[in-house]
Structures are given as C-alpha cells and as structure tokens.
Amino acid sequence: MGLLFGLVLSGAFAFGCGAKREENMQKQARVSVLQVTSSAFTNEGSIPARFTCDGDGISPPLAWSGAPDATESFALVVEDPDAPSGTFVHWVAWNIKSPKLDENVSKEAVLGNGMRQGQNSWSKPGYGGPCPPSGSHRYYFKVFALDRELELPPKSDSAALEKAMSVHVIAQGELMGRYQRKR
C-alpha cells in the first residue's frame, strides 16, 4: 500500500510540475501582437535627425494598436543592438496609460500622467536620441501591453523593467528605425 501511494503521489507531483510548465507555455503562446507606428518614420526607415543627437534629441511620436482588453498599462524599451560595446538602451518607460506618445516627452523620471521613465545607457531618465559613433545603426522601439501597472522605483534600468514585467506581458510589438550620422 505504501509503494502504491508513493507512486501515485510522485505521478501527481510530476503531473503538477508538467501542468505548470504547460500553463506557462500556453500563456507565452497567447501573447498578442501590437502594431507599433510613428508618424515621423516608417518601419525600417530612417529616423529624422531632429530625433537624434544631431538635431533636437527629442523623442519621436509613437502609437500602437491591437492591445487586448485586459491591458492595464504599457511599457517601452528603445535599444540599439549595433552599438560597439553591446546593446545600448535609449529609453525605458512604464505605466504608460495611452496607446500613443506625442513627440518630445519630458525627460523627467516621474510624469504627472503616472508614466515612469528609467535609466537609459547614459544613466539618465527619459529618451536619449540615436547618436551612433559610425555606420548605420538600428533602433528598436519595443512596446509591451501589460496586465497590470508595475511597482518599480523611478530610474530603474531596462533589466529591472524586463524582470518586473516578465509574467505580465500580454501583447508586444516593435518598430525599427535606422540612423547614420552625416559627417
């Protein structure tokens, strides 16, 4: 009787672990796709100089659609994977309520609308425009729909944001722009 109970118990445990793994895989498969756009540039197009270090360095306008009904907030990460020292982060933001951001978002860490901005790779909050040292670089504007707001201190970095939102992403999308400095 003890051996049979042990086999049943170990089978139930294995089933329970497998069920949890299956649940996580199903949740990942349910992540919807957001359509991310900008009125300033097209996907894979050139980012205008005014949104870079060669211009005003202001953030470009962004919009996204396709968020599931369960969306409570959005998060944003802008990265340059072509930087010589590895991926360079240009913008980290979370608790965004609207499916759009106007151009020239304030560089404050905490905005009046509840949006928070983390540290970019220059160790500053807010958007830091493209400023590649040489060649053409790609800039990925990644938007995430989340099933909740996040409790992160202002000025958190992209790693902290990614960890905090990892199990709360219900949709995501990206827009890629290119920039090469004229010298």
The token pair at 160 is: 């902290």
- Sign of the CA dihedral running 112, 115, 119, 122: negative
pLDDT over threshold 90, residue 123: yes
- Predicted confidence at residue 4, as pLDDT, reads 38
- Predicted confidence at residue 22, as pLDDT, reads 52
- Rounded Cα distance, 113 and 85, in Å: 34
Q: Which pTM does this prediction carry?
A: 0.84
Q: Which pLDDT band, with edges at 50, 70 and 90, does 6 fall under?
A: very low
What digits encode the pLDDT tens for the residues 9-53? 444 444 444 554 454 444 445 689 999 999 999 999 999 999 999
**Cβ neighbours of residue 98 closer than 8 Å, sequence gap 6 or more:** 74, 113
